[in-house]
Amino acid sequence: MDTQIIQFQNHADDRGSLIVAEYEKEIPFLVKRIYYIYDVSDDKHRGFHSHKDLLQVYIAIHGSLKVMLDDGKKQETVLLDNPAKGLYIGHNVWREIFDFSKDAVLLVLASEKFSESDYIRKYNDFLESIKKTIPNT
C-alpha cells in the first residue's frame, strides 16, 4: 500500500515543543494547500474517497483519530494520536477517518490545489480505477 508513517522530530526543550515538516526531509512533495478538520463528533465518519493524483500527509496536531486505509486488496487502520506522527497517503488508497476525540484537529498537507475532479467518491469506481492503473488486480 502506498502509505507510510512519518516520524517527525520533536525539538522539545523547557520552553515547549516544536515540530517541523519540511519538503524532502519529512514531506516528499511540495505543499500547495493545507486544510484542517476539527469539531467532529465521535459518531461521524469522514473521507470515503480516494484521489487520482493528490498526495497527502495527515497529522493529528491535537487529540486523536483513526484512518482506515484500503488499497483494494487489504485494509489497515492507523491511529494518529501524536503531533509528532504523520501519515503519508499516496496513490490508489481509499481512506475513511473516524473515532475523532472531542479535541482532535487533523491537519492535512496536500500536493495539489483543490479539484473535485481528482476525487473518486464511490468505492466501486475506486476498485475499477485500480484495475485500470494496476493490471492483474
| Active-site residue set | 49
The reply on whether position 91 binds ligand TYD by CB under 6 A is no
Q: Which residue has the cell 486505509?
A: 69
Closest C-alpha among 137, 112, 121, 136 to residue 29: 112
Binds ligand TYD (CB under 6 A): choice among 1, 31, 37, 78: 37
Stretch that binds ligand TYD, among 1-9, 30-38, 62-70, 85-93 (CB under 6 A): 30-38
106 three-state secondary structure: strand
Q: Which of residues 103-122 bind ligand TYD (CB under 6 A)?
A: 114
Binds ligand TYD (CB under 6 A): choice among 19, 46, 64, 78: 46
The β-bridge relationship of strands 33-38 and 46-51 is unpaired
Q: Which residue has the cell 489497515?
A: 76
Q: Which residue has the cell 487489504?
A: 74
Binding site for ligand TYD (CB under 6 A): 33, 35, 37, 46-47, 114
